[in-house]
Structures are given as structure tokens and as C-alpha cells.
Amino acid sequence: MISVDQSPPSVQLLPVQQGQGAALNQLQIHWKVTDDNPADKPIALYYAANQEGPWEPINGWQDNLGSYNWTVGAGVPTKLYIRVVARDAAGNVSRAETDRPIIVD
């Protein structure tokens, strides 16, 4: 029996947290993704100065580890939005993003 996967992954972006102390320039990005047929390296992260973009990559496609510690470098806006994109083996894609800007101290 052959089945066709037309359902995109379910993706939820959890609250983004700023690091403390020595990790003050880091954002801790957490997400939850579920899919019956995930792609190899199914997660990509992006940021933008506003919700309309342009969206810049934080990293390339990575394993679904549920979190990523991003060291925010020079040139990144102090107020930004975060987006997580998930893909499955059939090429279905879904995303979730912050609805309010993250303030980076």
C-alpha cells in the first residue's frame, strides 16, 4: 500500500529566553514539532527585524533537538522576531514565529 503524506508538520515555538550572566548575548530558542515522517534535518531557524521580513537564517537545516542556543552577533537588531520552520520527508513545510518582538539586551 502506498500512502501520500499531505499533512505538514505540527510546529509550536515556545517562549524565547535571553541568557543570563556570561550567556547574556545568547537567545535560547525552544520548539516542539511533531510529524509521522520527518525529513532528515527537519528544522531551520530565522530572525527578522519585523514580521514582514526579510527573514535571515540563524542556522541551516538541523536535527530536531527541540532547542538551540543562538549567540547573537554584531549587526543583529536589538528588537527581532524568531521563526522556526519544520519540513517532513514529503516536502510539506510549516512554520511558527513570535507574535511580538524579542528585545535583546
Residue pLDDT, tens place only, 22-36: 877 899 999 999 998
Q: Are 43 and 66 in contact (CB under 8 A)?
A: no
Q: pLDDT tens across 61-105, in order?
A: 999 999 999 999 888 998 999 999 999 999 999 999 999 999 887
Q: Please name which of 70, 73, 77 lies closest in space to residue 45, comparing C-alpha atoms.
A: 70
Upstream peptide bond of 54 is cis (omega within 30 degrees of 0) = yes
The answer to whether 92 and 33 have CB atoms below 8 angstroms apart is no
Does this model's pTM top 0.85? My answer is yes
